[in-house]
Amino acid sequence: MKRTIAILLLICLAVCGLAGCAKKTEGDLLSSIRAKGKLTIAMEGTWAPWTYHDESNALVGFDVEVGRYIANYIGVEAEFIEGEWDGLFAGMDSNRYDLVINGVDVTPEREEKYDFSTPYAYIRTVLIVRSDNEDIKDFADLNGKTTANSIGSTYMELAEKYGAKVEGVDSLAETMQMVISGRVDATLNAEVSVADYLKEHPEAEIKQVAATAEANNVAIPMRKGEDTASLRKLVDEAIAKMREDGTLSELSMKYFGVDITK
């Protein structure tokens, strides 16, 4: 009888041990990604030249190619899912997306909630107003004014820090139209994105009046914890390889016309 109980206990322990191992494997995001054969990447798809649609309506951009490179390095396909900015992180929080690759600035607030890859780009924030606007000459002049920015973005947070009221928008084109039409007083955005917009719309009645002194680090956020540790390691390896073989610089020149990766 004792021998039978001992055997049963050993069987239970073995089963529990196997279940624990299985649970550990299932809980590892990299293992899950490799099992399904795809890396799910969230991005806006409306923010040129980071993520946007070309004339044939294909999803293209600097971050699209960065995402494909990382997925290929891991050995899986890249699956891109587009959405509004304020929903990208919520989707990652609920495990619908593996990564958000969308020109994300690293901020102390975001670092509290997410783990970031090593930076892969560096950008300054610029302040844009209508060409005939003489009231706003620096960020401090935003106090009491209105800006157009994506909800939850770094630019929205900076505008509010200077006392502006922010109107939410879904795309850079909409942002600029609100400034040009006078619906808002200004907007804050990435220097390279504004330059790209002016390249496509040289007639746009806007001007840059200020820029941040230091560049922001752009990196890839992912959920915190041991669950994402192995994925973070490979993402960092992929970024390092892109930097070493010149891919990052080439992509930056292709989409921005300058190297923002150094």
Give tens-digit pLDDT for 103-144.
999 999 999 999 999 999 999 999 999 999 999 999 999 999
pLDDT at position 9 is: 42
For residue 109, give both structure tokens. Answer: 């607030």
Helix or strand or coil: residue 237? Answer: helix
| Among 152, 192, 190, 182, CA closest to 170 | 152
Helix or strand or coil: residue 187? Answer: strand
b/e map of 104-130 (b: 16 or more CB within 10 Å)?
A: bbbeeebeeebbbbebbbebebbbbbb
Sign of the alpha-carbon torsion through 220, 226, 227, 233: positive
Sheet holding 206-211, edge to edge: 165-168, 146-149, 186-190, 125-130, 206-211
The percentage of the chain sitting over the pLDDT mark of 90, rounded to a whole number, equals 88
CATH of the domain at 230: 3.40.190.10
**Can you tell me the distance from the alpha carbon of 175 to that of 253, in angstroms, rounded to the nearest whole number?**
25
Q: Are residues 135 and 116 in the same domain?
A: no
Residue 220: C-alpha distances to residues 24, 111, 131, 206 (Å): 24, 11, 35, 31
> Are the C-beta atoms of residues 41 and 97 closer than 8 Å to each other?
yes
Q: Are residues 134 and 109 in the same domain?
A: no
Count of domains forming the chain:
2
Residue 11 in domain: no
Mean pLDDT of 11-35: 60
77 beta partners: 38
pLDDT at position 21 is: 41
Mean pLDDT of 196-201: 92
Residue 7 in domain: no
> What is the DSSP secondary structure assignment for residue 201, as one 8-state letter?
-
Q: Are residues 229 and 197 in the same domain?
A: no
Mean pLDDT of 173-183: 96
Return phi, psi of residue 37, to 5°: 75, 20
Q: Are residues 104 and 187 in the same domain?
A: no
Q: Are residues 250 and 189 in the same domain?
A: no
Q: Are residues 43 and 118 in the same domain?
A: yes
Could you tell me the residue range of the domain that residue 41 belongs to? 29-122+217-256
b/e map of 73-89 (b: 16 or more CB within 10 Å)?
A: bbebebbbeebbbeebb
Average pLDDT, the chain: 91
